[in-house]
Amino acid sequence: MPISIAGKVQSLGLTLPQPSSPAANYVSTTRVGPLLFVAGQIAPAGAQGRLGDQVAVEDGVRAAQAAALNVIAHVAKAAGDDLAKVRQVAKLTVFVASAPDFTQQPLVANGASDLMVAVFGEAGRHARSAVGAAALPRGAAVEVEAIIELAE
């Protein structure tokens, strides 16, 4: 019997949310061959503000984890909730709303990266960019986008 992505997430003490709907004129995911491109996902309301100003690094890490959990919800939908269908988390891009002198974006991005490895194991190890931004949609502290290789 296949292991479900939702079940793996639950075993970590987390709950897989419903995949979010796009906020504008785009789609949440696009599949090109085996690659699934997941549009930027933000954490639920409450994880807002800029790191280095009103948001502490620890809160940013939690926001990155929550945004990554939304990415995983889209992956689960595309993979039929079958953990074995996720061949590789190829790339994460983590955008961090940052004060001008904030330079700890990689520490914040670890919240997303660590969750991918916890859920997908070796297939969760990925290339990554951690990018500081002046502002993110809806005032979010963190936004995560992903490229995932799925079994055909």
20 in any annotated domain: no
Residues of the chain with pLDDT > 70: what percent? Answer: 99
Query: What CATH code is carried by the domain that includes residue 36?
Result: 3.30.1330.40
pLDDT value at residue 2: 74
pTM to 2 decimal places: 0.96
* Containing structural domain, residue 106: 5-15+28-150
The Cβ of residue 20 has, within 10 Å, a number of other Cβ atoms equal to: 15
Residues 50, 71, 139: CA angle, nearest 5 degrees: 25
Amino acid at the residue 89: V
Model confidence at 47, pLDDT cuts 50, 70, 90, reads confident
Name beta bridge partners: 40: none
Name beta bridge partners: 144: 41, 94
pLDDT value at residue 1: 65
Of 98, 95, 43, nearest in space to 68 by CA: 43
Q: Which helix (H) or strand (E) holds 86?
A: strand 86-97
pLDDT value at residue 121: 98
22 in any annotated domain: no
Q: Number of folded domains in the chain? A: 1
105 in any annotated domain: yes
23 in any annotated domain: no
